[in-house]
Amino acid sequence: MSFIRVKSVKSYRYAYLVENRWKRRGARGTRQKVVQYLGRVVHLEKVRDAEFLSFVENTDLQDYLGSDKKTIVKDLVRFELFRLGFEEQSGKMIKDSFVFDMKRGKFVNSQDEMTRIVIELNEGFFCRYTLHRLLTFKSMAQEDERERGIRLARYFLEAGLVVPREVFVGYFEKV
């Protein structure tokens, strides 16, 4: 099972996707193996309070839950970035030098090239990896409904996205 580990180097923090590996011969115990570099960790303070359904400008929850999974996840991302002070411009969420391209699902620099940024968000880390994992979430053959719900909730939590209960239930019914 992989998880995100943050490592501090001088005054910067960096996030890595790591796995625990069991070592048998010689040095017993677990060792962490870096699977992927995710990017520099950035902590931004919340500057706005808002209600999710009023943010997406939809007063009818059932109507909103008729949206596809991708739309719901992207709305949750837009909502959290909005609460951090990002402004939406031409399909991108922008705050200072941080630009998140909503269509491509990644942070980009001023030349519109991908850049590795990890936003420390709520209790998780929002980055391209955690977003992709949510967008491609599928049921596994060996898991029951309860296990699938727990795994989906963990993915939202690890991405730092706070999901209103009724939106989570509606989203869960789609997977």
Q: What is the pLDDT of residues 107-161, one digit of tens each?
A: 999 888 999 999 999 999 999 999 999 999 988 888 999 999 999 999 999 999 9
140: Cβ contacts below 8 Å, ≥ 6 apart: 148, 151
pTM: 0.90
- Map out the domains of the chain as residue ranges: 2-43, 52-172
- Helices and strands (DSSP H and E) totals, the chain: 6, 9
Task: Dump pLDDT digits (tens) for 69-116.
Answer: 999 999 999 999 999 999 999 999 999 999 999 999 999 998 889 999
